[in-house]
Structure 1
């Protein structure tokens, strides 16, 4: 692979999360298309995009800064999942699966940040 980030497991998991969120939002009501649907999709995409952007040609301090952005976007996805669950757009089991994916990504981002110190 040509780019450093493509080998990072956390980036791969973040891309998987984006795919899952994209599929999930296809079932959201049409009146949410510019609200919750847009917000959760942008947040999910932002996780992998910030990991990718920060990894290439940056200092460790700069990479850590972008990992911080990725972490916050991941947490935003969790917040959106809670809203979707409360609005009955997602079943509890599906919520838990995605929640656990986000938790795993959080742990991996924090470990990567720590390794850069």
Structure 2
């Protein structure tokens, strides 16, 4: 019998990736309130930055070495900081009201991403081998196909 977790791609098993995907949805909804004059400016930038977060988490999870994985997680963390700044700019310009739920999701994504980075950074820097120590946090890089 195939379990649902066996059907998922490695990144889909990560809570931080799921949070980042929810963050994208929230940013798209939130940015709908921006003025039409910002459609090709701040609105587009917010959305691109939000999409970058789960995209880099997924790309890192597909990499074979911990060092590469960490590099993409670091890029995702940078995109989160960029997203936070862009949301603050939109609020300071009175384009949107602060969204406490979006801010909470951003904080939770940051916390989970930082925890994953700390976990990986404390381990070996070689090709990842499936092991009991990593099973709950590191997806099997060789099972990317469904």
User: What residue number does 1:105 align with?
Assistant: 109
Q: Flag structure 1 segments of 5+ consecutive residues without an equivalent.
A: none
Give the TM-score normalised by structure 2: 0.75
Give the TM-score normalised by structure 1: 0.92
User: What residue number does 1:29 align with?
Assistant: 35
Provide Cα deviations, 1:58-102, integer angstroms capped at 9, x if missing partner.
21111010000000001111001101111212223x1x3222221
- CA-based RMSD of the aligned residues comes to 1.1
The higher-RCO structure (CA 8 Å, 6+ apart) is 2
Q: How many residues align?
A: 115
Q: Flag structure 2 segments of 5+ consecutive residues without an equivalent.
A: 1-6, 123-146
Q: Does 1:75 align with 2:81?
A: yes
User: What residue number does 1:7 align with?
Assistant: 13
Choose 1 or 2 for highest CA Rg.
2
Moved more, 5-14 or 104-113: 104-113
Q: Does 1:19 align with 2:25?
A: yes
Q: Does 1:42 align with 2:48?
A: yes
